Structure 1
Amino acid sequence: MTTDLVAALDIGGTKIAGALVDDTGAVRERFQVPTPAREGGDSVLAAVTAVLDRLVAADGWSAVRGLGIGSAGPVDARSGTVSPVNIPGWRGYPLVSGARRTVGDRLPVALVGDGAAIAAGEHWCGAARGVDNALCMVVSTGVGGGLVLDGRLRTGPSGNAGHIGHICVELDGDTCPCGGRGCVEGIASGTAIARWAGERGLLAPDGGPPTAAHVAAAAGDGEPVATAAFRRAARALAAGIAATATLVELDVVVVGGGVAHAGDVLFAPLTTALGEYAALPYVRGLPVRPALLGADAGLVGAAAAVRRSPGGD
């Protein structure tokens, strides 16, 4: 890069965040708005535009030389379109061209799935730094993932490689909004954890439906339904991780996102379940680490993705 700044967007079912990121991975400016996920596609783009407008007006924008976009998927990096499972208004939506209406045509733009963005970020300056082969996951409103193989982010032709959230782990499971059945996301996402626990009588402290954070807190106190919800989620994650590691061989798995903030409530049963599913010698003992970049992982990763893309350095 001829400058130390790139712009980054992190788009998910709950929030849309934007930042300017320097060449050390430090976030210099950060703005965020809620995702109007149940509204029409143009309303969601308007939220994206609001964040981009703030970035364009920020100090340092004149030095920006690229825009990285990490979006809930699936994405199509070739066409610049997105079809996030948890944003129904976006189906084949032209996100890159929509963003260009704000940032102009001079900047290289890299579009990747949010899981791939987190993989790029954690490999650049997080829990997978210095590791050649890693699966990095985000477990939040949905479940996504990205792969670093032979020291390089591998996004695949369309930008979706490593999308572990839609691996089937329950052959007769519920139909997923993606069209499949028994997907990891349908069992292990924060949304799924909260729904499953709520259907079995767990309530939030105010008597309403629980969130994943409520379930995590209750599980930390040993509440049986909440504990079972996290154990169930951990087994689904472990099955997906074991399948991925069996296919490509991994040195480490990094797990981030809101659900990972539950700490041992998630990681303890995940480690136990992975010991059951990852049986082959080259998969056994696979370490699982919490992500290090926190809430800014997607932003740092989107910045890393555009730095590594053609025209980005």
Structure 2
Amino acid sequence: MLALDIGGTKIAGGLVDPGGKLLRHATRPTGADPFASVEAVVAELAPGRVDGVGIACAGPVDTVAGTVAPINIPSWRDFPLVARVRALTGAPVSLAGDGLCMALGEHWAGAGQGSSAMLGMVVSTGVGGGLVLNGRPFGGRSGNAGHVGHVVVEPDGVPCTCGGRGCVETVASGTHLVRWARAQGWAGTDGMALAASAHAGDPVAAEAFRRGGQAVGMAITATAAVCDLDLVVIGGGVAQVGDLLFEPVRATLATYARLSYLRGLRVEPAKLGPSAGLYGAAALAYSLT
């Protein structure tokens, strides 16, 4: 199965077998003409016939219409991605948001195996997510269900790219962690330096991650209460800091997730790294073709 993972900076592709093994992999910069990059990836990986194509794409997506309008790809607005890839490959095409595909990939071949009700989260330059309920991807009415990065955790917080205010993304994303720390006097410039400062005991850097972990934990609490989750898997660049993020997440759950049916809720780091979206896109295609 051919899997594509489309983001604002790069377009990745892979061939994945039914057992969940990534056989081949290719990437291209998204560039000024993203579909040309899609064509290049497809040409490298699958110059002949493929049985099906699964696509993970940055959102918003419209899985009914087969169109995408990623915030981080301004040249694509209501872009007919499914029709264009179907014409390119001659194969059935399945589309989902990248957060949902991350969750589905981890459920199929990573940390989420065996879960009956799972949220996958990506905490990186943005915060995304997706739901796998009763072993199946749940995209909701338009394909955007599970986008927990826009759960509001600070009603009077800073403006978000979505047009709202105080979303978890405005507190916990890598960009905003650094921005907040610098506003408090921290002198570094990027997330890696912020993590190093926090590990070295810098109180501002440590507080940035505490705030971020608390925001993530509050979003998880709300989502788990609504969806009766048993597992949350967190990946993405910010999640690589380990306990700096996971300890405040778990402390927040201990404080707020007090309903009896949430007592067994587990939070685990993702296992598949940046390939999770490809695995999820392939799983999507295998289940729908």
Q: TM-score, normalised by structure 1?
A: 0.86
Shift of 1:285: 4.7
* Structure 1 residues 98 and 282: alpha-carbon distance in aligned structure 2, compared to 1, 3 A threshold: same
Partners of 2:104 and 2:137 within 8 A in 1 = yes
Shift of 1:228: 1.4
* Structure 1 residues 35 and 259: alpha-carbon distance in aligned structure 2, compared to 1, 3 A threshold: farther
Partners of 2:122 and 2:129 within 8 A in 1 = yes
2:170 is matched with 186
Partners of 2:230 and 2:264 within 8 A in 1 = no
Percent pairwise identity: 53
Which amino acid in 2 is paired with 1:137? M
* Structure 1 residues 65 and 45: alpha-carbon distance in aligned structure 2, compared to 1, 3 A threshold: same
Partners of 2:172 and 2:216 within 8 A in 1 = yes
Q: Equivalent residue of 1:173, what SS?
A: coil
- Across the aligned residues of Structure 1 and Structure 2, the Cα RMSD in angstroms comes to 1.8
1:219 is matched with 198
Which amino acid in 1 is paired with 2:44? R
1:102 is matched with 88
Q: Equivalent residue of 1:265, what SS?
A: helix
**Deviations along 1:12-51, whole A, 9 cap, x unmatched?**
2333211111111111111123334xx5xxx222333332
- 1:17 matched to 2:12? The reply is yes
- 1:293 matched to 2:278? The reply is no
Shift of 1:101: 4.4
1:132 is matched with 116
Partners of 1:118 and 1:146 within 8 A in 2 = yes
- 1:79 matched to 2:81? The reply is no
Partners of 1:200 and 1:225 within 8 A in 2 = yes
Partners of 1:86 and 1:142 within 8 A in 2 = no
* Structure 1 residues 50 and 149: alpha-carbon distance in aligned structure 2, compared to 1, 3 A threshold: same
Q: How does 1:201-220 map to 2 (within 5 A)?
A: 201-204=185-188, 209-210=189-190, 212-220=191-199
1:50 is matched with 40
Q: Find the partner of 1:265 among 244, 249, 253.
A: 244
Which amino acid in 2 is paired with 1:35? T
Q: Which is further off, 192-201 or 107-116? A: 192-201
For 1:196 and 1:44, how far apart are their aligned partners in 2?
32
Partners of 2:70 and 2:77 within 8 A in 1 = yes
**Deviations along 1:114-149, whole A, 9 cap, x unmatched?**
111011111112111111111111112221111111
For 2:195 and 2:30, how far apart are their aligned partners in 1?
23
For 1:197 and 1:49, how far apart are their aligned partners in 2?
41
Q: TM-score, normalised by structure 2?
A: 0.93
For 2:38 and 2:174, how far apart are their aligned partners in 1?
23
Shift of 1:280: 1.8
